[in-house]
Amino acid sequence: KQWYQRRVAITAGDHHLVHKFRQGLGKTKILYPGETVLLNVSGNVSSLAMLNLMATGYDKTSHKKITAFPKILIIDDSCLFDMAESPVPAILRIIEKVPDMPKQTFVIPFELIFLENYQERCRQFCEDNATRAVVDLKEMDTDFDGLSEAARSSFQKIKTSSAKEDIHRSLHLQILSTFAEILKSTKVMMSEVSTDLAARLLNTVAVGRGLYVPNETQYLDTRLPGLTFINSMREFTPKECAFYLRRLAITPITIISHSTLSDPIVGSMSRLTDTFISGLQANFPSTVSTVMKTGAKLQTVSNSGANCDVCFLPLPQSGDVVQDLSLLGLEEGLCSGCQIAVSESHESVRGLISRRANTKDILDEFLID
């Protein structure tokens, strides 16, 4: 009897998580039949939970099936941390066991962004291998050893851990936007949970992007015209994701980042805010929900038609809260937070920013076509 009651409780818990995941998609009506949606999967707890929750929408017994076609993106950052073994093979084995869901997986080495004309090279490679279940861009004919060394060296020369994380995340967004254009998709599903977004809210204010808090934490992030980042795990907690994967007998991948390698006390700003939020949440369980509700009440910045060349956040108009727009670096096409991060970065990273500044124009051309 105890076993039966425990089994019923587990099944009910799974249904609750599935309902919560599908509710967010249903309320926004963001996914349309037949369109391509990209899933950003890193192998951590929340991304694997997102992947398996998405798969429930393709189950034959599902009440309302998801009819969008998913394509999975794995950005391999192992070059930055000189890892002996890439986590990609382990992630692919987990993805292979996900039932029911039709899927195509793209493995993208982070160092490719340091390649000249990488957008055109990646587009051609993806078109040539369009029918493969797993498209590994590591198979491209290029000098990956040289690119890995260039990427690692460039990030090692960035002065602070905060700047490293800021630039790293911005380049991730640029890679995602590039492949959204290549794969003809206008939706990218992200996997940050409520604790991650609450910590980012405080971090956004701390690094000088207080105007953009709603853009960073709302369910639909429309910072780029024609491309929507979906914070599909926004209402989930890390504990819910961990227990969900445990019931599925899935072991998540341990992800190394600039934050985990930094000093826990005097490390990066994002690690400090994450530690602060997690500590409060442990003692006051309503902390994260309160922070998220407060962020939801803030009004988004009106778009002046221009976006930051690094993080893609909209640059404010003269009628917004900030009066001295020169403080935001508008003349250089950067928001204030990115202006600080770029000033602490290596010249090779600055070169990347100038090369990627036309991403918005590329997306606009794609939408017109």
Average pLDDT, the chain: 82
pLDDT of residue 9: 39
For residue 13, pLDDT over 70 is answered with: no
How far is Cα of residue 168 from the mean position of the Cα atoms in its chain? 11
pLDDT of residue 164: 86
pLDDT bracket for residue 194 (50, 70, 90): very high
Phi, psi of 235 (to 5 degrees): -95, 5
- Strands 303-307 and 314-316, by their bridges, are antiparallel
For residue 42, pLDDT over 50 is answered with: yes
- Strands 134-136 and 187-190, by their bridges, are unpaired
Kindly state the average pLDDT of the residues 273-294: 90
Give the residue, 327 or 126, on which the prediction is more confident.
126
Kindly state the average pLDDT of the residues 316-331: 46
Going by C-alpha positions, the residue among 268, 290, 265 that lies closest to residue 277 is: 290
Tell me if 120 sits within 8 A of 84, measured CB to CB. Answer: no
**Which residues, in sequence order, are CB contacts of 86 under 8 Å at separation 6+?**
76, 78
Q: What share of the chain in percent tops pLDDT 90? A: 38
pLDDT of residue 61: 76
**Which residues, in sequence order, are CB contacts of 156 under 8 Å at separation 6+?**
none
Q: Measured between alpha carbons, how far is 31 from 24 in angstroms, rounded to an integer?
A: 11
Tell me if 232 sits within 8 A of 190, measured CB to CB. Answer: yes
pLDDT bracket for residue 81 (50, 70, 90): confident
Give the residue, 244 or 160, on which the prediction is more confident.
244
Phi, psi of 249 (to 5 degrees): 60, 40
For residue 10, pLDDT over 70 is answered with: no
Determine the straight-line distance between the first and last CA of the chain, rounded to whole angstroms: 62
3-state DSSP call for residue 74?
strand
Greatest Cα pair distance, the chain, in angstroms, is 69
Q: What is the CA radius of gyration of the chain?
A: 20
Give the residue, 60 or 113, on which the prediction is more confident.
113
Tell me if 247 sits within 8 A of 206, measured CB to CB. Answer: no
pLDDT bracket for residue 301 (50, 70, 90): low
Kindly state the average pLDDT of the residues 102-120: 91
Residue 120 sits at the vertex; the CA angle it makes with 116 and 123, to the nearest 5 degrees, is: 135
Show the DSSP H helices in 183-283 as ranges. Answer: 194-206, 213-217, 238-247, 258-261, 269-283
pTM across the whole model: 0.86
pLDDT of residue 217: 84
Q: Measured between alpha carbons, how far is 299 from 181 in angstroms, rounded to an integer?
A: 29
